[in-house]
Amino acid sequence: MLSKCGWWRDAVIYQVYVRSFLDSTGDGIGDLAGVRAGLPYLKKLGVDGIWLSPFYPSPQHDHGYDVADYRGVDPVFGDLAEFDLLMTAAHRLGIKVLLDIVPNHCSSEHPWFREALSGAPGSPARARFHFADGKGRGGAEPPNNWHAMFGGPAWTRVGDGQWYLHMFTPEQPDWNWRDPEIPAEFDRTLRFWLDRGVDGFRIDVAAGLFKHPELPDSDDPEADARTRDSVNPLAWNQPEVHEVWRQWRATCEEYTARDGRERLLVGEVSVPTAREHALYVRPDELHQAFFFDLLGAPWDADAFRKVISEAMQDIAGTGSTVTWVLNNHDQVRTVTRYGEPATEGSGLGAARARAAALLMLALPGAAYIYQGEELGLPEVVDLPDDVLTDPIFHRTGSRARIRDGCRVPLPWSGQASPFGFTSGAESAKPWLPQPDYFAAHATDRALADTRSFWHLYRDGLQLRRSLPQLGEGTLRRLDTPPGVLAFARGDDLVCAVNFTTAAVPAPVSGTPLLSSGPCPPGVLPGSTAAWWLNDL
């Protein structure tokens, strides 16, 4: 049941990847009007809010995470008037709206970066970014040995010989947060959107922003660039970043004091331990931060148990609540990650994904659902090279870690692409091709089939809203056989997950209240999760 204080504490938020959600114009790219048209679907699903991926003016080198104007709407997605209509429609349905804000870097086409390129070394325009002289003869080598997250060196040289820092791509120069103009500019941006009624912000690269002031060499630059779990400590998680979140929290509290509506700050925080994660959600900093350890855990009862225990101990202990995620726009879809690429939504991967969803919705705290997970969509693994758009692929030449496969536009109806995603002429094609097997996952079929992923999510969300045992609170572990994880919520609600493929005795008697698959009384089948109401 949702808390009376702090709507965000146990909210379920649906991540809308705007360009792949629903296209209203027929150009093959999703847009804000499409999101507005899809709101009744999301209301029926039962989510509390939506998080919108970046829709700001951008050259789209990284699909909007290279922002050229933080206070506008890219024409491909609509305009500010359409955004205002979306806000009004969402709030009328009781759906909160979070925006994705990108404070670590901007676009190389941002006016301030263009000004920096035309400015002289040492100029105020360059001080907004990280410009530095190179090493070696004539400064021909980068200022340090850092590698970019998306491949290649983290530095690009400009015409006058200096270099600028970009921890992702050359089209995404990093802001210098030690320059006072940067926090002031982002304060103006926050207020611009808060004045338009948004309910909060998802903060990209929230552990980034500050770099070591001396920009020294890294001991292991290649390891730093491999994953966000092993990022360069010289460019990540610097102590000064916490003051930024205190300032942003104060801005949100200022708006809350005016009208009583609590605004949310949720951070993309990638740090090695739950204890470090907890530092970002202290009472005067971010309200929440995504806890990625559940997403990264292998399908193993002991691994899940350890992750959940650490989160409850270190994060919930701050006074915040854990923010659970199983997927997002940067990760392989859950059905595929947990098993074989089950093209028809069946098989081991699908069973595990259903069980994991039920587990996540039973945990104390908030949960985020990536669009398409409620349809059981698998990762599209066979996209041809010539349609791939991910800068990781274009910078490394490798398909490893590319993210296009989880971003293929949603199927809404019909037997063939575009599956109702775009309403344009017959020649209009989705910006990424949809495989034929998406027909089995289309929304209209999912709603009509009570055994579908969609109904599992919807039923879980309805129970989560109606049962006081679920949502915010504590959990108590129960003794189980090997390979099984079980815990109690409140006095009488039990959730159990069988991580093995063999059936085991259920931890409590009776018929389950909800289960991820067929679950007769007294038995917990393999790769299945279930909830029971039982007098413990």
- The SS3 of residue 445 is helix
Cβ contacts of 33 within 8 Å, gap of 6 or more: 24, 25, 78, 82, 85, 86
For residues 408 and 380, the answer to whether their CB atoms sit within 8 Å is yes
Is 302 known to be catalytic? no
Tell me the C-alpha to C-alpha distance, in Å, between residue 191 and each of 57, 91, 127.
Answer: 18, 19, 24
Catalytic one among 254, 284, 382, 436?
254
Annotated active-site residue 284? The verdict is no
Complete edge-to-edge strand list for the sheet that includes strand 476-477: 476-477, 484-489, 493-498, 528-533, 514-515
**How far lies 199's CA from each of 68, 366, 372, in Å?**
23, 15, 23
150, 169 contact by CB (below 8 A)? yes
Burial label, 528 (beta-carbon count in 10 A; 0-12, 13-18, 19+): buried
493-498 and 476-477 beta bridge pairing = unpaired
Q: How far apart are CA 276 and CA 206, in angstroms?
A: 13
Catalytic residue selected from 66, 204, 373, 379: 204
Distances (CA, A) of 462 to 41, 336, 442: 15, 26, 22
Q: What is the rounded distance in angstroms from the CA atom of residue 206 to the CA atom of residue 420?
A: 36
Please state, in angstroms and rounded to a whole number, the distance separating the CA atoms of residues 290 and 481: 30
Q: What is the secondary structure of 129-152 as a DSSP string?
A: B-EE--BSGGG-B-SS--B-TTSS
Catalytic residues: 204, 254
